[in-house]
Structure 1
Amino acid sequence: MDRFHIVGGSPLRGEVIVSGSKNSALPILFSALLGGGLEISNIPSLRDIRTAFSLLSQLGIRADPLVSADPEKTDLTQGIPSHKNDGWPGKYRLLEESIEAHEAPYDLVRTMRASILCLGPLLARRKRGRVSLPGGCLIGARPVDIHLNAFVRMGAKISIDHGYIDAHTNGLTGCDIHLPYPTVTGTENIMMAATLARGTTRIFNAAQEPEVSDLAFSLIARGARIEGIGTSSIKITGVDSLLEAPYTVMSDRIEAGTFLVAGALLGEDLMIRNVDVSCLDSLLGTLRDMGADFQEKNGSVSISRIRKPRGTSARTEPYPGFPTDMQAQILPLMAIAEGPSTVVETVFENRFTHVMEMNRMGANIDIHGSRAFVRGGASLEGASVMASDLRASAGLVLAALIAKGESEIQRVYHIDRGYEKIETKLESIGARIKRVRGEEIS
């Protein structure tokens, strides 16, 4: 397995460009199953994206690259470059070649929980879906019951047999759906199913994340009728079919946030481009509390190292609260801050697996249930550590960047799921980081 070798302490200067959002691109890609065609730009080159393309291919969706890729580095049968090259087009046209396929197999779904997002479009367009129960990162339970209960209310019949969800319908019908909590993938799955359902669907307590809005705007561009975007109450009036239309995926706010924390740790007038600061209010507020000074202009943010970071508190919550996907990245800054800090994790129940590894590097963090108590004032030292999930990987990379000496981050296949060439981007702004190739990951 690949790993990162990092020598800490190097200042970060220059410019880095944020890629397209994985969490936005995935549901938009799966919306191609609704038919009508889709032209999508700003797709990041990530393991999860490739998994989505492979799954869509099995479900009868052809992906044609629209930006020239190096033919020697591209699988021309599907237009999908391999993970280890620079031939990623970033722009594709997705066309429906078959509406017969309806099964999402375990060998693909097990690696990416977002694969459940194919079920809603399959039911709406093809009246049947057979999807393996999802896998992915070990950061706590993310049950799909909310999705399934909504589809039953809309007229689907569902059974679970031998690890597969088997669903079919004679046609979905809109209804009122009250979510027990604002699940992102649940909101997206229901919204996609409702675009082709008869009548009107209203989702109450809907997730308000920008990625949900991005999916909604992409569907509207193709002829869907959706109201209440960005609010907790979304109304979808079903249409007979969707049209083909171009759409550009939003920039990745979590990648932007990760580089903002990197700048707060080691920046020397670091410029981060392609940033939508309106999506980052909570994180920017926390960084200000810790002493950060940054300038925003025309989709870019410049930030420099906080000379004496102050301890603070953060509580992860659904958007617009502090994002759970930034919890691991803020901890290294809290670890070296003057005074104590506290993080309360309210979204996932098992998302402090990185803390033990950070403590091995010299952090002083205690976990009590859903709370992390950070003593502050630590001087981190390089060590060999192991990543347990996507965002934990990013947190450990940031810790290694400020640690004295050398560190090795193992299992970086996790970070490849959500950060496009992060080692290349960090190296371009001064970090001493390199990827050490290991055996191929199955």
Structure 2
Amino acid sequence: MDRIAIVGGAKLNGQIPISGAKNSAIKLMAASLLTDEPLRLTNMPRLADTRFLGKLLQRLGAEVVEAEGPDGGETLLTTREIVSGFAPYDLVRQMRASFNVLGPLLARTGQAKVSLPGGCTIGARPVDLHLKALEALGARIDLHEGYVYAQAPRGLKGAVINFPINSVGATEHAMLAAVLADGDTVLENAAAEPELADLAECLNAMGAKVSGAGTRTVHIQGVSRLHGATHSVIPDRIETGTYAVAAAMAGGEVRLTRTRGHLIQSLIDKLIEAGVEVTTHDDGLTVKRGPDRLRPVEIETAPHPGFATDLQAQFMALMTLADGESIIRETIFENRFMHVPELGRLGADISVQGGEARVRGVEALTGAQVMATDLRASVSLVIAGLAARGETIVNRVYHLDRGFERLEEKLGACGAQVRRLKGDGVEAEVE
């Protein structure tokens, strides 16, 4: 099992290009099931999660072709025919978001059998809102032996769906199903993350009629069929924020390109509050930190446009070196403080009570062996290692490969001393 070794102390200076958004790309790939014509996705990240979903889509009947285009990775998906409506556990369990093939399969063929995704290390994350949305659209849902059996032999029907909470996955799932439903659908109290607007833009390019995506009310006028299209994946706001925090942690000056500052405005506000200089420009932003110690900051995670839960672990790592006590409240996932003991191994002073963490800044962190527990927690340990004295080794980095493309290469280009160790301890070659 691969590990990542970081020798801390080097300032970051240079440029980091941001990849396409993982959380958008995987839902856009699922949208390819809605048409028999080709869907070309550009600015595609090359990640473990996109590979997992590609394998599942191929099983269902899609042809998946990857290539390199002028703007980075491209993926061409063509599902001329759904050859199977069965998504087995051994594939769905590898990535929770693959459960979202249920809606497109149901919308296009009227039936599907998809494994429940199971638990998650950062929280229960039930799919009941997904299923209730599909039922509201007229689907008959049965649960048996860990599988969802869904049927809509006469097609889906438009409906008004009022979500009790802002669920990104359920909102996306409802959109993916409702675009081919008969009649109009209104999604109330919908999630408003930028990835929702990106999905709607792609669906509209395919012939759908979606308006209001990215707000709390989404209107969908069902159409009888969708056609092929080309769509560029939105920049990854979590990767953008992660490297912004990394630059603040290590010090120096880093320009993040091929992204948009407004995607992480809540983080930018907190970085500035902590004493970090952030400048936005047309194709991204520049993050600069001088020699002064960081100021402590209080944050609370919230649905977009609030502070993203996917950036909480990274920001906590940053606050371990602040001059004073920071307070971090996690309101989205109940188990998203599992990185706290690992940061403690590096010398961080953090206490947790319920959904609140108090981070008392220390003068310095010290390198140690640490263990990644989930995707965002794993990169927080890398960020901490950038500033720690000595060497930090992050184990179980397969989590990182799910969401960060060429992390060692991007950080290394800015002066970080970071390398990947293969399972046998030998340094891996950079492709």
> TM-score normalised to the size of structure 1?
0.93
Partner of 2:159: 175
Q: Which residue of 2 aligns with 1:227?
A: 211
Structure 2 partner of 1:292 = 276
Aligned to 1:16: 16
The correspondence for 2:84, drawn from 92, 101, 104, is 101
Greater shift, 29-38 or 42-51, is seen at 29-38
| Contact residue 321 and residue 363 of structure 2 kept, 8 A | yes
**Is residue 63 of structure 1 aligned with residue 64 of structure 2?**
yes
> Which residue of structure 2 aligns with residue 75 of structure 1?
none
Give, in whole Å, the separation in 1 of the partners of 2:117 and 2:77: 24
* 2:347 aligned residue: 362
How much does 1:98 deviate? 2.1
Structure 1: which amino acid aligns with 2:190?
A
Unaligned runs of at least 5 residues, structure 2 = 425-431
Q: For residue 116 of structure 1, what is the aligned residue in structure 2?
A: 99
Query: Is 1:218 aligned with 2:202?
Result: yes
Q: What is the match of residue 243 of structure 2?
A: 259
Distance 1:68 1:286 in 2: 36
Looking at structure 2, the residues matched to 51 and 37 of structure 1 have their Cα atoms a distance apart, in angstroms, of 20
In structure 1, C-alpha distance between the alignment counterparts of 2:53 and 2:27, rounded to whole Å: 9
* More displaced 10-residue stretch of structure 1: 135-144 or 357-366: 135-144
Partner of 1:393: 378
1:338–1:160: structure 2 CA closer, same or farther, 3 Å change rule? same
CA shift for structure 1 position 66: 4.5
AA partner of residue 204 (structure 1): E
Aligned residue number for residue 434 of structure 1: 419
> C-alpha distance in 2, partners of 1:158/1:227?
28
Amino acid at match of 2:20: G
Which whole-Å deviations, capped at 9, do the CAs of 1:155-200 have from their partners, x for residues lacking one?
1111111111111112100100010101111000000100000001
Q: Give the aligned partner of residue 45 of structure 1.
A: 46
Residue ranges of structure 1 left out of the alignment (5+ in a row): 70-87
1:348-371 Cα shifts (integer Å, max 9, x gaps): 011000000001111011010000
Determine whether 1:405 maps to 2:387. no
Q: 1:119 to 1:378 in 2, by over 3 A?
A: farther
Residue 338 of structure 1, aligned match among 323, 336, 341 = 323
Q: For 1:65-214, what aligned pairs fall within 5 Å after superposition?
A: 65-67=66-68, 90-135=73-118, 137-170=120-153, 171-214=155-198
Question: Following TM superposition, by how much is the alpha carbon of 1:154 offset from its aligned partner in structure 2, in angstroms?
Answer: 1.1
TM-fit CA distance, 1:64: 2.4
1:318 pairs with 2:303: yes
For the 8 Å contact 1:112–1:136, the answer to whether it is kept is no
Q: In structure 2, what is the Cα distance between the partners aligned to 1:345 and 1:57? A: 37
Q: What residue in structure 1 maps to residue 399 of structure 2? A: 414
Q: Give the paired residue count.
A: 422
* Cα distance in structure 2, aligned partners of 1:378 and 1:97: 60
AA at the equivalent of 1:310: R
Distance across 2 between alignment mates of 1:426 and 1:128: 46
| Alpha-carbon offset, residue 238 of structure 1 | 0.3
Q: CA deviation at 1:145?
A: 0.3
Q: How far apart in 2 are the matches of 1:137 and 1:393?
A: 15
Amino acid at match of 1:362: G
Deviation at 1:89, TM superposition (A): 7.0
Which amino acid counterpart does residue 382 of structure 1 have in structure 2?
A: G
Q: Does 1:425 align with 2:426?
A: no
Instruction: Label 1:400 to 1:256 Cα distance change in 2 as closer, same or farther (>3 A).
Output: same
What whole-Å deviation, never above 9, does each CA across 1:284-325 have from its counterpart, x for those lacking one? 001011011122211121122252210010000000000000
How many Å separate the matches in 2 of 1:183 and 1:153? Answer: 16
- Does the CA contact (< 8 Å) of 1:39 and 1:246 recur in 2? yes
Residue 356 of structure 2 is aligned to residue 371 of structure 1: yes
User: Residues of 2 paired with 1:400 and 1:66: CA distance?
Assistant: 34
Distance 1:66 1:384 in 2: 37
Name the CA distance, whole Å, in 2 between partners of 1:204 and 1:12. Answer: 44
AA partner of residue 216 (structure 1): A
C-alpha displacement of 1:137: 4.4
Measured after TM superposition, the shift of residue 333 of structure 1 is 1.3
2:143 aligns to what SS in structure 1? strand
Provide closer, same or farther for how the CA distance between residues 362 and 411 of structure 1 changes in structure 2, counting only shifts above 3 A.
same
Match of 1:282 in 2: 266
Shift in Å, 1:342:
0.5
Asked if the contact 1:266–1:304 (Cα under 8 Å) also holds between the matched residues in 2, the reply is no
- Alignment RMSD (CA, Å): 1.6
Q: Which amino acid aligns with 1:129?
A: A
CA distance in structure 1 between the aligned counterparts of 2:329 and 2:5, rounded to whole angstroms = 31
2:336 is aligned with 1:351: yes
Partners of 2:205 and 2:229 within 8 A in 1: yes
Shift in Å, 1:100: 3.4
Residue 320 of structure 1 aligns with an amino acid whose one-letter code is P
Q: Is the 8 A contact 2:249 2:384 kept in 1?
A: no
Task: Name the CA distance, whole Å, in 2 between partners of 1:413 and 1:332.
Answer: 20
Read off the aligned partner of 1:34 and give its amino acid letter.
L
CA distance in 1, matches of 2:72, 2:260: 23
Deviation at 1:97, TM superposition (A): 3.2
**1:374-423 deviation line (CA, Å, top 9, x unaligned):** 11134210000000000000100001111000111000000100000111
